[in-house]
Structure 1
Amino acid sequence: MRWQDWVGVVLGAYLVLATLWTSTNGNAMSAMIALGALLVIASVWSLAMPGSMTSEYAHMLLGVLLFISPWALGYTDYMGAAWTSWVVGVLAVIAGAAALPEANAAHQRGVAGQH
């Protein structure tokens, strides 16, 4: 159980819940809920399958999508939602990248154990 995966669960849950106290428009709310839920799913996937490199890349991809979403979906005027998206996006990329070496090692052990 990697701490980075638990960080992903917390970040995703926070992102979804942040729509309750942050001013949003429809695009911001949709992006925050959808990407937050996907981040939770990817994190649980990582917890269930520690040797999965794909789940860690999914964390990073979701973080990048989250970071660009205020510009792409036009909610930069909603500063709380935009900043939440930017910060959670950067943290998701960092957590995913930090987990890659451990996921790779677990993957290598799993592949070596199959021969």
Structure 2
Amino acid sequence: MDSINRWQDRLEMAVGIWLCIAPWALVLPQAAAWCSVAVGVAVILLSGEDFFLPNQMEEWGNAVLGAGLMISPWAWGYADSAAATANAFISGFLVSGFAFWALERLFMRYEESHRVKPS
């Protein structure tokens, strides 16, 4: 499990960095800015930790963060800002997608390693 999700971790970190700078790059409303930075920092921390201590729990955490980010425009009331809504939805989709991609690969590797070989 140590090298199977390295690409996904790097991609998740890139999205996390984007989320941290997006409030200034896109001039987001205050609620969207706080949500973007908070989720961005959490994604960076989880991906960084998963990079050094691989475990599926970080991927599940990123999947939940991505899903939460996708619904945040309606939950926090900034859905009227097209840029903020698009940023939240696309970034959340990417974070969740990369997390599920890593989980799928981990489960495939687990199944292959525990397959009973016919004698």
The interval holding the TM-score normalised by the smaller chain is: 0.7 to 0.9
Instruction: State the partner residue of 1:78.
Output: 81
Match of 1:94, as an amino acid? Answer: G
Cα distance in 2 between the residues matched to 1:103 and 1:43: 15
Instruction: State the partner residue of 2:22.
Output: 18
Cα distance in 1 between the residues matched to 2:81 and 2:26: 8
Question: What RMSD over aligned residues (CA atoms) do the two structures have, in Å?
Answer: 1.8
Match of 1:96, as an amino acid? Answer: A
* Conservation of the 8 A alpha-carbon contact between 2:22 and 2:28: no
Task: Return the offset for 1:45.
Answer: 1.4
State the TM-score, normalizing by the size of structure 1. Answer: 0.85
* Conservation of the 8 A alpha-carbon contact between 1:75 and 1:82: yes
Instruction: State the partner residue of 2:63.
Output: 60
Q: How many residues align?
A: 107
Cα distance in 2 between the residues matched to 1:101 and 1:44: 19
Percent of aligned pairs sharing the same letter = 27
Task: Return the offset for 1:24.
Answer: 1.9
Instruction: State the partner residue of 2:116.
Output: none
Residues 25-52 of structure 1, C-alpha deviations (whole Å, 9 max, x = no match): 22111100000110111111111122x1
Task: Return the offset for 1:3.
Answer: 0.5
Task: Return the offset for 1:103.
Answer: 3.7
* Conservation of the 8 A alpha-carbon contact between 2:20 and 2:36: yes
Kindly name which structure, 1 or 2, has the bigger radius of gyration based on alpha carbons.
2
Moved over 3 A (4+): 101-106
Task: Name the SS for the 1:23 alignment partner.
Answer: coil
State the TM-score, normalizing by the size of structure 2. Answer: 0.82
